[in-house]
């Protein structure tokens, strides 16, 4: 079976964030991830990881101002300097936390924006991030996100993400394939994982619709795991679902 990580932004919501590390370790996870580490000092997070014998596998680059409607800024013309500052901050955190991957959330295309300019901005930012991350031994991930949950998101399908990474042309990049987002776009995640296997560097999952634990929707998540095994995938597979009940009661798939 794949190596499983717990996304602490989603799992164990019944606990304060610092207590989720211990809960993940007690549940049998060897690794964790979360979108935004920025509310805590890197040293505080490192101590939580060490105390619970956990590895951190991934976090997102800074995503802008959520209160103002931001959901990633990499595609937004005029905010390149803010993006670059976020890359530098991520490198500093990763140096303390030990993760080898950093994920880019492209952002939402502003209404009426020039599509060509938005795409060019995203490509330039991906190239910059990859170039800066490489000396630190970090891989840049790009995550497509469905436009049902996030209307206007710049990169909605896994194949679009793979094409952008190919055009960016940086060796230390890869696709973050989210089974839930692919399914919400009407795609077959099992087929997508097979087709895009050469560029997949990280996988996340939730059932769809609903974004709850496996068995609550229509996605063949067991089939996805089996396909990853058959493909020889050696990366992490992160549980990024909203538990429909207490998290411990939703972990039958892990056993």
pLDDT > 90 fraction of the chain, expressed in percent and rounded = 99
Q: What is the DSSP letter of 71?
A: S
pLDDT-based confidence at residue 175 (cuts at 50, 70, 90): very high
Q: What is the pLDDT of residue 25?
A: 98
- Return the percent helix, strand and coil in the chain, to nearest 5: 40, 15, 45
Q: Domains in the chain, ordered, with CATH?
A: 3-250 (3.20.20.150)
Distance between CA atoms of residues 176 and 133, nearest Å? 16
pLDDT-based confidence at residue 170 (cuts at 50, 70, 90): very high
Distance between CA atoms of residues 17 and 25, nearest Å? 14
Q: What is the pLDDT of residue 39?
A: 93
* pLDDT > 90? residue 13: yes
Query: What is the three-class DSSP state of 200?
Result: strand
Distance between CA atoms of residues 17 and 39, nearest Å? 11
Query: What is the three-class DSSP state of 4?
Result: strand
Of 219, 213, 203, 207, which Cα lies nearest the Cα of 246?
Answer: 213
Which positions are annotated as active-site residues? 143, 240
* pLDDT > 90? residue 220: yes
Mean pLDDT, residues 213-229: 97
CA angle 188, 178, 156 (to 5 degrees): 80
Residue-wise pLDDT for 49-102, tens only, equals 999 999 999 999 999 999 999 999 999 999 999 999 999 999 999 999 999 999
Distance between CA atoms of residues 243 and 15, nearest Å? 13
Residue-wise pLDDT for 29-64, tens only, equals 999 999 999 999 999 999 999 999 999 999 999 999
Provide the whole-model pTM.
0.97
- Per the DSSP assignment, residues forming a β-bridge with 200 are 175
Assess contact for 200 and 235: CB atoms under 8 A.
yes
Distance between CA atoms of residues 45 and 38, nearest Å? 10
Only one residue has tokens 């007690």, namely: 26
Q: What is the pLDDT of residue 1?
A: 78
Query: What is the three-class DSSP state of 30?
Result: coil
pLDDT-based confidence at residue 255 (cuts at 50, 70, 90): confident
Distance between CA atoms of residues 167 and 227, nearest Å? 27
Residue-wise pLDDT for 113-169, tens only, equals 999 999 999 999 999 999 999 999 999 999 999 999 999 999 999 999 999 999 999
């Amino acid at each position: 079976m794949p190596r499983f990580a717990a996304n602490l932004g989603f799992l164990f919501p019944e606990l304060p964030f610092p207590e989720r590390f211990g809960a993940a370790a007690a549940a049998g996870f060897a690794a964790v991830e979360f979108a935004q580490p920025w509310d805590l000092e890197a040293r505080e997070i490192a101590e939580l990881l060490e105390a619970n014998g956990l590895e951190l596998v991934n976090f997102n680059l800074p995503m802008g101002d959520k209160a103002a409607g931001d959901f990633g800024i990499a595609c937004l013309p005029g905010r390149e300097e803010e993006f670059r500052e976020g890359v530098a901050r991520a490198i500093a955190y990763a140096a303390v936390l030990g993760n080898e991957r950093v994920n880019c959330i492209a952002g939402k295309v502003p209404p009426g924006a020039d599509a060509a300019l938005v795409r060019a901005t995203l490509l330039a930012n991906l190239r910059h991030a990859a170039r800066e991350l490489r000396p630190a031994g970090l891989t840049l991930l790009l995550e497509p996100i469905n436009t049902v949950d996030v209307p206007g998101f710049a990169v909605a399908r896994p194949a679009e993400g793979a094409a952008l990474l190919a055009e960016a042309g940086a060796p230390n990049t890869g696709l973050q394939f989210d089974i839930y987002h692919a399914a919400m776009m009407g795609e077959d995640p099992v087929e997508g994982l097979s087709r895009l296997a050469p560029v997949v560097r990280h996988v996340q999952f939730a059932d769809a619709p609903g974004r709850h634990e496996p068995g609550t929707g229509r996605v063949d998540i067991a089939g996805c795991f089996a396909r990853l095994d058959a493909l020889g995938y050696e990366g992490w597979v992160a549980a990024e679902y909203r538990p429909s009940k207490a998290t411990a009661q939703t972990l039958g798939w892990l056993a």
